Amino acid sequence: MDAIHPVTYLSEEEQMFKEAVQDFAREEILPHVMDMDQKGAFRREIIDQFFELGLMGIDIPEEYGGTGGNFFMSILAIEAMASVDASAAIYVDVQNTLVNNAFQRWGNEEIKKRYLPQLAQAKIGAYALSEPSSGSDAFGLKCKAEEKGDHYILNGSKLWITNAGEADIFLIFANVNPELGYKGITAFVVERDFEGFTIGKKEDKLGIRASSTCELIMNNCVVPKDNIIGEVGKGYKVAIETLNEGRIGIGAQMLGVMQGSMDAAVQYAKERTQFGKEIFKFQGLRFQVAEAKILLEASRRFVYNAARMKDAGEDFVMEAAMSKYFSSTNAEVVTSRMLEVFGGYGYTKDFPAEKFYRDAKIGQIYEGTSNMQLDTIGKMLFSK
């Protein structure tokens, strides 16, 4: 068994991997973070570097062009990236924990051979479940799929789709038989250039601004029958089980956001002087940062534990929900307190504190709101 790191519970190899990703983020992404945030656009050349470094196919087997790592390594990469820029982390997160995960677990061999090498080496994927009328009620979706010979015709729209602006491969959930309710939901692989498929409005967001969030429109979109992930009518199962891994990914994002905000605040507190001394020498401020550190480390243990359980093949559904709830709740608290360390400067865009604060809020909303996580946890407790 690998040696356990005394603080973060990482092996030496895992620690080196995490530090390598963080070094890359600081060198290649950090100089562009504020510009990308202000413009609401991510630099394509950085995404290309993600592919070159193998970060977009971390746990895809080598036979399909991936790195051949595990889920926990994806979590470490997401965390390290988010400590510099949450928008950057989202590209790595959605690709690994949702899209690649769904293709590997539910795709047949032909689907895997066709799409996994593309996802590992060149093309961004997007996961399209939400609709204008179905958010937390994910299975109330209206998007329909009608069978026509050797293909399906999809009609409807999707909303809040992360990475849609840059994606080439989309996993879209539509209902082949609305009379059956959620039992008619089916997962389809849609390519960007498929007939009848278009990218709609890009959202102007509070945080994670450089990450694209767009509407998708299917107007008689033609999808071959071979492009079904899993079985017809089993899309609900694909969605539910894939999102369990996705929630751990969101937890990792929040770890990075907390860490980045703390690093910036600690550095500032060493440099800023008031009343003739550096502000970190005031006990009240040290207590504030110490409490934030406790929340961060407690969250890290939740997230790491859920990821380890997933890799070990254990039931991790409750742990995934707890890790997302706990880390996203704490991220809002921690980034708010770290912003206060900067005083008035923290409220300006001249310092990174306000961006970390804005980026933290989404953690309580996407891939299942905090209330939905509590509902999942509560149901599991009372089902025993």
Place of tokens 């008619």: 184
8 Å CB contact between 200 and 214: yes
Q: Which residues contact 229 (CB under 8 A, 6 or more apart)?
A: 102, 103, 106, 107, 111, 171, 187, 188, 189, 235, 238
Q: Which residues contact 176 (CB under 8 A, 6 or more apart)?
A: 144, 145, 146, 147, 152, 184, 185, 186, 232, 233
367 in active site: yes
Rounded to whole angstroms, how far apart are CA atoms 280 and 259?
Answer: 18
DSSP 115-183: HHHHHHHT--EEEE--BTTBSSSGGG---EEEEETTEEEEEEEEEEEETTTT-SEEEEEEES-GGGGGG
Rounded to whole angstroms, how far apart are CA atoms 161 and 51?
Answer: 21
Tokens of 255: 């770890």
Tokens of 317: 């559904």
Among the options 79, 319, 332, 367, which is catalytic?
367
Beta strands in the chain (DSSP E): 125-128, 144-148, 151-162, 169-175, 185-191, 197-202, 213-224, 228-229, 273-274, 277-278
- Greatest Cα pair distance in the chain: 79
Please provide the distance, in angstroms rounded to a whole number, between the alpha carbons at the two ends of the chain: 33
Catalytic amino acids?
367
